[in-house]
Chain A
């Protein structure tokens, strides 16, 4: 379809607008993290740095366990992602391709998981984790991350499964394949891009979780990035350089990660597209 130049202009402006609001703040943060302190707090802020220093990063890395926080976050997010994907694929298949009593009720009930304020879960969950000696244990975080990611992940499965024609399944059934085999050998490969998207969603959700991580983890060695960063920043002093360095070094890993796998996120979501 041909587009009028007016629409083209609108698109260009729109895209530029999106770039400005999404990216400019991060440019400011990253470019300022390498400025000297007096340039950061000067009354006339600069778009491009006039000074250059790596002291904020040096301070951040030498006086805190940042690499450790990164490792913990990676471990927790990867584990949460794996468990979420397995649970979502299995139950998604059941909800959207099989029939059983109470199916619709259960599906709605699961989506309602998001009606729970965190506080309802926080205190009793702390007690529960304590009883099974999981306080200060990263596995406790995996448990909670999966809980909050799974309902939406199941919903995401719906569209992916809808794109797989029923005939394929029926043909396999007629050939005598068991349901499990169908799921494993036929369905899963066909919705692989979608599974990638679910995985990325679960990973990011875990990566950014703060409240439970701050309460369930006690020692520095087990902190994840959000909690570790909050601790370094502290409230007593406003060391903008340190904070901006922390923000930069927390943003960069995910951005790099997304640079490589980001397209799979969107691609996976639209894999069922008929276009």
Chain B
């Protein structure tokens, strides 16, 4: 095709493409970009209770939150939270996906019931675990005592480490099936002949996993990890409803701190500053990950 016609065709393609993406851009622009800008404005004022007036105070809020230990402690806890969740969920999801990929009695129906913890609202998860872990009527304490693992009922949310661990386990329990199903889809896209050829060459199961499965799964795993990390960082309701950030702030991750500062401490501008910092950090992290590790996102 002559260059002129080529350019015209390309332009028409671009115009068509833009009409297709315009609705999404507008939608997300209104519901995400506008609030971000609004938060930026809030963060440089001194608004206390929502709705009250505030005047411009420059970077005061940023200076005060960044110099307070509360922010850094919450950030550290968020890092622990994200890493813990990622570790537990990835292992559980990977193992589940590998199991669900096999042909085996009960596996096909398992692919449907595995997601039950994902399809129920968080409030149900909260009710379930608050009840199961309580000392009045809960099942877990008596079970552990019957198994001889403990001699007295324990308070799972009573100490800093056990509260954080319990929350991570509960949150992972809730999310790993969804990730497992996504991974399952990725696994099933790997051609069988690759495995067969490797088996003929005498490769063990483990070697097949390492040399074929993992590399080919990597793009899916990568995106799931990045998005999973972002979502994990921002988890709010399960922590808030189960421990409220306690005991003694042991589970006060950054979203909890931000919510508390805004709605219980009535320091809205400070909370806005914290959330801007959090957003910037997360975006930076995601961009960094994509730039250094992105495997062929370009191929279509």
Contact = CB atoms under 8 A, between A and B. Distances in A.
Please give me the 6 A-B residue pairs with the lowest Cβ-Cβ distance, nearest first: A124-B38, A269-B185, A262-B112, A115-B282, A124-B35, A100-B14
Interface of B is mostly: helix
A104 interface: yes
Interface stretch (B58-66, B79-87, B154-162, B186-194): B186-194
A77 to B, nearest CB: 11
Given A29-B131, A121-B31, A247-B124, A114 B231 contact: yes
B96 A18 contact: yes
A66 interface: no
B137 A240 contact: yes
Nearest to B111: A266
B54 to A, nearest CB: 13
Nearest to B180: A18
B213 interface: no
A111 interface: yes
B2 interface: no
B260 to A, nearest CB: 10
Contact of B120 (A98, A118, A208): A208
Interface in A1-36: 1, 7-8, 11-12, 14-15, 18-19, 21-23, 25-26, 28-29
B209 interface: no
A263 B96 contact: no
Interface of A: 1, 7-8, 11-12, 14-15, 18-19, 21-23, 25-26, 28-29, 40-45, 87, 90-91, 93-101, 103-104, 106, 108, 110-121, 123-125, 127-128, 143-144, 146-147, 150-152, 154-155, 159, 162, 179-180, 204, 207-211, 225-226, 229-230, 233, 238, 240, 243-244, 246-247, 250-251, 254-255, 258-259, 262-263, 265-266, 269-270, 272-275
B20 interface: yes
B278 interface: yes
Contact of A91 (B20, B181, B184, B287): B20
B31 A22 contact: no
A251 B124 contact: yes
Contact of B184 (A25, A116, A269): A269
B234 interface: yes
Contacts of A255: 116, 119
B206 to A, nearest CB: 11
Interface in B2-44: 10, 13-14, 16-18, 20-21, 23-25, 27-28, 30-32, 34-36, 38-39, 42
B254 interface: yes
Given A26-B116, A90-B21, A247-B128, A124 B34 contact: yes
Given A28-B139, A113-B28, A119 B255 contact: yes
A147 B268 contact: no
B21 A95 contact: yes
Contacts of A229: 121, 123-124
Given A94-B17, A124-B34, A265-B181, A1 B199 contact: yes
B283 A115 contact: yes
B115 interface: yes
Contacts of A114: 227, 230-231, 234
B252 interface: no
Contacts of B75: none
B17 A7 contact: no
B221 interface: no
B185 A226 contact: no
Interface of B: 10, 13-14, 16-18, 20-21, 23-25, 27-28, 30-32, 34-36, 38-39, 42, 50, 95-96, 99, 102, 104, 106-107, 110-124, 127-129, 131-132, 136-139, 142, 173, 177, 181-182, 184-185, 188-189, 191-192, 195-196, 199, 205, 223, 226-227, 230-231, 233-234, 236-237, 254-255, 258-259, 262, 268, 271-272, 275-276, 278-279, 282-283, 286-287, 290, 297-298, 300
Contacts of A210: 121-123, 237
B115 A258 contact: yes
A262 B269 CA distance: 44
Contacts of A21: 173
A250 B286 contact: no
A244 B127 contact: yes
A29 B114 contact: no
B24 A87 contact: yes
A143 B28 CA distance: 10
A226 to B, nearest CB: 4
A124 B39 contact: yes
A205 B50 CA distance: 28
A1 B195 contact: yes
Contacts of B34: 124, 128
A139 to B, nearest CB: 13
B27 A87 contact: yes
A233 B50 CA distance: 28
A87 B23 contact: yes
